Chains A and B, each alone.
Chain A
Amino acid sequence: MSSPASTPGGRKRGRNANPATPSSEGPISPPSQRRRGQDSSGGDLMPMPTSPATDVLSPAAPQDTSLLSSPRPSVMPNEADISSPLGYWTPSSRVEGTPSSRVEGTPRSGVRGTPARQRPDLGSVRKAPQVDLQSDQPSTDGAVASEPNAGHRLVIWGTDVNVGTCKEKFQRFLQRFIDPTSTEDENAGLDLNEPLYMQKLEEISVVGDPVLNVNCRHVQSFDAELYRQLICYPQEVIPTFDMAVNELFFERFPDSVLEYQIQVRPYNALKTRNMRNLNPEDIDQLITISGMVIRTSQLIPEMQEAFFQCQVCAFSARAEVDRGRIAEPAACRHCNTTHSMALVHNRSLFSDKQMIKIQESPEDMPAGQTPHTTIVYAHNDLVDKVQPGDRVNITGIYRAVPMRVNPRQSNVKSVYKTHIDAIHFRKTDEKRLHGLDEEAEQKLFTEDRVQTLKELAAKPDVYERLASALAPSIYEHEDIKKGILLQLFGGTRKDFSQTGRGHFRADVNILLCGDPGTSKSQLLQYVYNLVPRGQYTSGKGSSAVGLTAYVMKDPETRQLVLQTGALVLSDNGICCIDEFDKMSDNTRSVLHEVMEQQTLSIAKAGIICQLNARTAVLAAANPVESQWNPKKTTIENIQLPHTLLSRFDLIFLMLDPQDEAYDRRLAHHLVSLYYQSEEQMEEEFLDMAVLKDYIAYARTYINPRLSEEASQALIEAYVDMRKIGSGHGMVSAYPRQLESLIRLAEAHAKVRFSEKVETIDVEEAKRLHREALKQSATDPRTGFVDISILTTGMSATARKRKEEVAQALKKLIETKGKTPAMKYQQLLDDLRGQSETAITKELFDEALRALADDDYLTVTGKTVRLLA
């Protein structure tokens, strides 16, 4: 048995081992803790696995520091480490420190009655290392140990952390830190001018959830030195923080009752890393990485402490798990019978553990590489916090474990296994559920980058520049590019759910229609490649489920899982749908909800839910007759239901302009594509990366609001639009068009990085809207722009005509007198004979239908019957 008493394990134990603990029986080093001191007596208090130890320690004397001098053979870094904490900690030099066995129930001194809960995530709380190591090491390390002592600078082994100072500093941080500019949603409802973390402690006392999340950035801005220590020596510093916070808490709220002691969970370590950048220097440091969960294991009960009982005398002993092994006592210490000790399972201690695999997020990856994966272990209450598919930021300690040395084998594999012990999860897309903040990706911009972007934004022609940078290989179509640019930026999200109208759509939907071969698909592909959350589907290949969501059974867990389709996946992004016209009606119908309400309702296999699908739709459709027929309306050309069409803010026609100057420019453009070198091209246009960042920045940080003048201008524009139509007795604008205008104006303000929507934005929105309408809503019969083509599916003239025919038909029937039934063909011929204009069969059918709708008649087969 590797007697736990023989060595002082991690500092955590050391800390609580205070001289007053009666049971400290460590023969070698006095401060070796008997955690819980329950060797014999307290055992019955803790029959539950994972239940925290329930020992009550004598009020903590702040002697913690005394323990620090105790050698900690388990973690034996060399002097170099002490002097340069950021230095290289080879895993092997700390081999005993790394396996994540732990002392559960590390008691924290001084906090009456509240059990401490183990922190397997820190893993540092080492069980006693093997004896041979011990004998081996003190010789070398003893010297180091004494040094700090001599200098009266008590530091934890292998670090430059002085527990006393560290604790003090952290308490000061808690008591004083104020962040008046905080925008985090966690801090919602807190008084920003009061010490932030004290308010959180108060919250803990009320809510009783003993977890204190600490933003590392706050620590850094408060005390850079403390932050450095936290990052470099998380195993040592975090327990110190725990201690500090508990002392503070129980001083403040002496009466509160917590399930166990407060644990500090730092997050947002500034050393946020891409998984790809992790390297050996990060081992044992606090890191934050982002990624996507791809697999989670089932819950693994991990034995923390084995409970043995002597079969002969019922004497019990405990053995802590050491690097995955339990040292079974060979003989009973009480009665000296050999091989009498038996493991009692239900008195052993277990903790929860879960293996989680994280994969690099696709955005972080260099092209042409495959994503890396990392194993993360979650412990205790972090188990089952994340699901596959979640995007998370994980803060934890990076570990490298050498392949187990097998005594039977002379040579070993020289490879380490690496993993991260998670301390804190933060789902990056969690906010979606709460809808607090539209931009999930808080992309970090360096100051230089922001500067470049701002300089770019200050240029007067930024709008044109960006538009021309969009898909440079596609020639001209400036307005279309501008429209797409505005779509990329989007409007400002507004929430009227308080007043019952719900969310206003902020995303701009665009439909491109036109002749085949006018690079519509290419434009779509470009957009899809440009935005982080883009999805590209083809109307031909996608089914309604592929677009929305479907339910499937997870083969491993047999659980029903909701799998999301393209529309949901592109939440906060752009969903590019090619061959929109080829889509089945059924599939298209789901788009109705998405394109206005921006939600997706699912009722399937017992799962009823509403998912957010705040996606902008960029669709491309080909005309039915393969060539655009200028004599027909948009609706007739593409045969899409007008209900859907009216949901597009901008509908552009991409037609082949037949004009010589254009041809020449086009030819030049194309030929140059084929021989210009890569560099030449890049000089001409903005880099795609800059454009990406520009858009991301604007979407994240710029939320323009309408200025007074702009609102006036919008009102005027709307009124003007309505007026245009009124002359011909038709309505030419609906509130939907006003909303479109607002969105476009906002997006244009975003392009300028302006927090205010001004008149120029409205002007541009008007212009673009008009341009798009001119193309798509011109009534080929009259030559007028007629919005009702898009809103009702037919032009006002056509509708008027339909009504006239219906009236004429009614009159005709009435003149026939009281004949209850008529022949269909007969009626058509009569009508044709009577009318001056040509009556098509369709027109006649429509007229019949209109009358049928009025309950005037019914049509059965070839007979028309009058009703009433």
Chain B
Amino acid sequence: MPSTHDWINDPLGVVEGMFAASQSSQSSGWEAKAVELFKEQLKEKEAQTLVPSLNDVPLHYLKPDSLVRFRCLVQDMFDPEFFMGVYETVDPATKARTLRCGKYKDVTESGVDVNSRSTVTAERQTFYCVPIPGENQWAKDGYAETRSSQGRVVPSTSYVPSRQKRSYEDDEEMEVQPQKQKETHAASPSAADPHGNGDCKRQETEAPSGPAASASHLDLNFPLPGEKGPSCLVKVYEDWDRFKLNDTLQVFGILSVSPALSALADEKDSFLDPAAGLESAAEQRVHSPPASLVPRLHLLHAERLDHNNPLLPGAALQENRAFLSSALGEMAAVRAELLSYFTHVLLGDALAAEFLLLHLLSSVYSRRDVLPLGKFTLNLSGCPAAAAYTQRLYQIVQQLVPSSFYLAMSLQNMNQMRLVPRKDYVANRLVSGALQLASSTSLFLDETQMEPGQLDATGVRNVTALGNLITWQKVDYDFNFHQMEFPCNINVLIASEGRSLLPSDCRVHLQPQVAPAHMEEYLSSIHVHPQASSQLNKFRVFLSVARLLDYSISDEVTKAVEDDFVDMRKDDPQSISADDLHRLLVVARLLSLSLGQTSLTRDSWLRAKHIETLRRSRMEQHKSVNGNEP
């Protein structure tokens, strides 16, 4: 049996040991046993945190061929490849033949006898994985902290994770990215380096990844602009069918950064090699990028992530009774606090705050044929155009949800951005787009940025794609000859001045309680919650837990709801349609969940009806004031 940390530091040794043992004892199934072993070791959450994470630790600090983990999104799936599962090597000096295991490796040992009959061909699948798009800094930091608090740092380095943060903040400004946290951290890259030796440290970070300079021409294919972080080619050895595109995974695998990989790719003198010659250079680049940029990860174990909130326990929520019950106990109190915070943020509008809260809890929990259930797209209209209000609003959302993306719907963005992923047949890969997002990402659409002008063909396509996303919770990826739809689960929040041009499930018109004269002043007083992050953390836990809860409706309440509906229709058939009932049911569900109730009660139903009525009457009012609303 391997010693305590062998399985982290030298997993290949462990695998090979098992392989050798199986060869001598003729026992079969060593592969399953090996996987089982690692799974067993990784059962404990503590053990998991011992494994260094590619997300937090720069690649060059990681020991090659050691076990690492990676929190990622499956961005693309390449074709399966055949490799030598078992092969024989011949020692040129002694002519001794040795059987070797080719699993979990990219490169064979020297002296391979390609003609050996003991060669066993096996199959594996490659996934192209990127860090979870739009993951917010607090979530990243949260994950990084859990592991550094374990005290153990990466073997063989004196690396301190906190420095890593700098490199994230060095990003050149992407115009679509709001100035996140610019208030707290001075933005200009030259100024303000909290670490005195920051500059030389940074050089150190960049120097080893020499080819990183060329990273600009090698597109790492991140869904969102301005993203940083490693991407990975994950090699999966079994059951790859259970993974789907856009799954978020925690992958445990053996890191392979063998420089031989890039060397092999380079010396393709394509003229005489018919196979290589026909593969386009673009494809080469995509499918075998330099290992120093895109490391290979040979998967030993992977878990699908329900959420990427570092404050929640990793395992399924229902199993963690203790955590769940304490969270449920606090729910109502936290809800009240959050509501008053939102009311403050939304210029004193309590009703809008209520709906914003519900919106942040929503999640597509099921689909009935084509109909997604549980989505709750919110259109906040009447946002003041002043003082970059929408961007402030986004910063607040950003502080609360683990991953989010701000999309300014400016004409230029709509006409130029690639929202829908597209298959590039030349490079044979799926070129990502901004709508390739992980499940339960918050998408903030800022329609106040829209100005009159012409949408070109791309713009129309992009708007249509957004509309489809909102209505059907799916994105039609463009495969050139056909489209393929991928279901998604994205919370869309639209901030606009008037009614949004996009469809939405629910629109609330903001009614500021602040006099226009004081608006500027008031707005500048809203900023990212300065007080203790413990309160923020409570909010974060609240939002994540509530959307993971189960929910049901009892027969009695069903009956009551039906009666209610019939009565309402009887009074005035125009007042409520099937769509309204749909919405009411969603609101009731979210309202119950926000109170920590897992089944609908009569009270929640009435309350849902009440806030719906309030909202509708406000719409009526607004309509009569405005007159130009349809």
Judge whether B396 is part of the interface by a CB distance below 8 angstroms.
Answer: no
Q: Is the CB of A672 within 8 A of B108?
A: no
Q: Which of B102, B278, B558 has the most CB of A within 10 A?
A: B278
Q: How large is the interface on B (under 10, 10 to 19, 20 to 34, 35 or more residues)?
A: 35 or more
Bound complex: CA of A76 vs CA of B121, how far in Å? Answer: 16
Least CB separation from B125: chain A residue? A372
Chain B residues with CB under 8 A of A522: 370-371
Are A472 and B369 also in contact (CB < 8 A) when A90-B117, A370-B430 are?
A: yes
Q: Is the CB of B82 within 8 A of A671?
A: no
Judge whether B213 is part of the interface by a CB distance below 8 angstroms.
Answer: no
Q: Is the CB of A667 within 8 A of B565?
A: yes
Q: Is the CB of A389 within 8 A of B481?
A: yes
Q: Is the CB of B87 within 8 A of A414?
A: yes
Judge whether B486 is part of the interface by a CB distance below 8 angstroms.
Answer: yes
Which residue of A78, A280, A529 contacts B117 across the interface (Cβ within 8 Å)?
A78
Judge whether A302 is part of the interface by a CB distance below 8 angstroms.
Answer: yes
Judge whether A471 is part of the interface by a CB distance below 8 angstroms.
Answer: yes
Q: Is the CB of A92 within 8 A of B371?
A: no
Q: Is the CB of B245 within 8 A of A369?
A: yes
Bound complex: CA of A522 vs CA of B471, how far in Å? Answer: 10
Distance between B174 CB and nearest chain A CB, rounded to angstroms: 27
Are A297 and B278 also in contact (CB < 8 A) when A92-B119, A411-B107, A668-B558 are?
A: yes
Q: Is the CB of B112 within 8 A of A412?
A: yes
Judge whether B114 is part of the interface by a CB distance below 8 angstroms.
Answer: yes
Chain A residues with CB under 8 A of B278: 297, 300, 355, 375
Least CB separation from B476: chain A residue? A536
Chain A residues with CB under 8 A of B562: 664, 667-668, 671
Bound complex: CA of A27 vs CA of B76, how far in Å? Answer: 55
Chain B residues with CB under 8 A of A389: 481
Judge whether A374 is part of the interface by a CB distance below 8 angstroms.
Answer: yes
Bound complex: CA of A133 vs CA of B586, how far in Å? Answer: 72
Distance between A719 CB and nearest chain B CB, rounded to angstroms: 41
Which residue of B105, B373, B480, B578 contacts A414 across the interface (Cβ within 8 Å)?
B105
Bound complex: CA of A78 vs CA of B578, how far in Å? Answer: 70
Least CB separation from B374: chain A residue? A674
Least CB separation from B368: chain A residue? A473
B28-36, B317-325, B349-357, B566-574: which lies at the A interface? B566-574
Interface code B215-258, partner A: CB below 8 Å = 1, 0 otherwise? 00000000000000000000000000100111000000000000
Least CB separation from A658: chain B residue? B573
Chain A residues with CB under 8 A of B76: 370
A interface, by DSSP: helix, strand, loop or mixed? Answer: mixed
Which residue of B370, B430, B566 contacts A667 across the interface (Cβ within 8 Å)?
B566
**Interface positions of B from 445 to 474, Cβ below 8 Å from A:** 460, 464, 471-472
Bound complex: CA of A189 vs CA of B579, how far in Å? Answer: 59
Interface code B84-117, partner A: CB below 8 Å = 1, 0 otherwise? 1001000000000000001001111111101111
Which residue of B84, B460, B577 contacts A92 across the interface (Cβ within 8 Å)?
B84
Q: Is the CB of A472 within 8 A of B368?
A: yes
Judge whether B305 is part of the interface by a CB distance below 8 angstroms.
Answer: no
Bound complex: CA of A668 vs CA of B581, how far in Å? Answer: 11
Bound complex: CA of A668 vs CA of B564, how far in Å? Answer: 11
Which residue of A369, A406, A673 contacts B373 across the interface (Cβ within 8 Å)?
A673
Bound complex: CA of A359 vs CA of B79, how far in Å? Answer: 10
Are A656 and B108 also in contact (CB < 8 A) when A369-B244, A413-B261 are?
A: no
Chain A residues with CB under 8 A of B112: 405, 411-412
Q: Is the CB of B123 within 8 A of A279?
A: yes
Q: Is the CB of A517 within 8 A of B577?
A: yes
Chain A residues with CB under 8 A of B43: none
Judge whether B515 is part of the interface by a CB distance below 8 angstroms.
Answer: no
Bound complex: CA of A359 vs CA of B480, how far in Å? Answer: 12
Bound complex: CA of A370 vs CA of B480, how far in Å? Answer: 13
Chain A residues with CB under 8 A of B105: 414
Distance between A399 CB and nearest chain B CB, rounded to angstroms: 10
Distance between A628 CB and nearest chain B CB, rounded to angstroms: 13
Q: Is the CB of A417 within 8 A of B275?
A: yes
Q: Is the CB of B87 within 8 A of A664?
A: no
Interface code B310-328, partner A: CB below 8 Å = 1, 0 otherwise? 0000000000000000000
Q: Is the CB of A405 within 8 A of B115?
A: no
Bound complex: CA of A414 vs CA of B105, how far in Å? Answer: 8
Judge whether A435 is part of the interface by a CB distance below 8 angstroms.
Answer: no
Q: Which 3 A-B pairs have the closest CB atoms?
A: A368-B244, A410-B110, A473-B368
Q: What would be 22 A-B contacts, judged by CB atoms less than 8 Å apart?
A: A91-B121, A93-B115, A93-B116, A96-B115, A355-B278, A362-B479, A370-B77, A371-B479, A400-B82, A405-B112, A411-B108, A414-B87, A415-B81, A415-B83, A416-B121, A417-B275, A660-B566, A667-B561, A671-B561, A671-B585, A673-B368, A673-B371
A interface list, Cβ under 8 A from B? 76-78, 88, 90-93, 95-96, 99-100, 133, 137, 278-280, 283, 292, 294-295, 297, 300, 302, 324-325, 353, 355, 357, 359, 362, 365-375, 388-389, 400-406, 409-419, 471-473, 475, 517-519, 521-522, 525-526, 529, 538, 541, 569, 626, 656, 658, 660, 663-664, 666-668, 670-675, 678, 681, 688
Told that A519-B578, A666-B578 touch, could you supply 11 new A-B pairs with CB distance under 8 A?
A77-B117, A90-B117, A279-B123, A353-B274, A370-B423, A373-B79, A411-B109, A416-B82, A541-B460, A667-B581, A675-B552
